[in-house]
Amino acid sequence: MTGAAASERGARERILAAAVERIARDGIDGVRIARIAMAAGVSTSLVHYHFETREALLEQALEYSYELAGDVRLGAGEGDALESVQRLAAMIDQFLPYPGLLERDWILWVELWLRAVRHPEMRSTAARLYARMRDWFAEAIATGVARGELDAKNADPERIADRLLALADGYGVRVLFGDLDIEHARREIWAALAHDLGLPANPPPPLDQANPRD
Partner 1 sequence: MSPRPRLDHVRRPELLAAAASVIRRRGLEHARVADIAGEAGTSAPSVLYYFASKAELLTEALTSAEERFYEDLALELDQIESARDRMLRIVATCAGEGDYDAALWMELWARALRDPELEVTRAELDGRWRRTIAEVVRYGQERGEFGPADPAEFAVLLASLLDGLSVQIALRDKEVTPDRVRELALKLAERELGCELLEGARL
Binding site for partner 1 (CB under 8 A): 26-27, 29-30, 107, 110-111, 113-114, 116-118, 120, 123, 126-127, 130-131, 134, 158-159, 162-163, 165-171, 173-174, 176-177, 179-180, 188, 192, 195
Asked if 6 contacts 13 with a C-beta cutoff of 8 angstroms, the reply is: no
Complex with partner 1: residue 98 or 171, whichever CB lies closer: 171
CB closer to partner 1 out of 27 and 86: 27
**Shortest distance, position 202 Cβ to partner 1, whole Å:** 15
Q: Minimum Å distance from CB 206 to partner 1?
A: 20
Task: Report in angstroms how near the CB of residue 126 gets to partner 1 at its nearest.
Answer: 5
Residue 1 or 177: the one with the smaller Cβ distance to partner 1 is 177
CA distance 64 to 95: 16
CB of 97 to partner 1, least distance (A): 11
State the minimum distance, in angstroms, from the CB of residue 6 to partner 1.
Answer: 36
For partner 1, the closer CB: 147 or 153: 153
- With contact defined as beta carbons under 8 Å apart, do 56 and 47 qualify? no
Comparison of 67 and 179: residue with beta carbon closer to partner 1: 179
Query: Which burial class, exposed, middle or buried, applies to 17 when counting CB atoms under 10 A from its CB (0-12, 13-18, 19+)?
Result: middle
**Between 26 and 208, CB nearer to partner 1:** 26
CB of 95 to partner 1, least distance (A): 10
Rounded to whole angstroms, how far apart are CA atoms 211 and 214?
6
Amino acid 204 reads: P
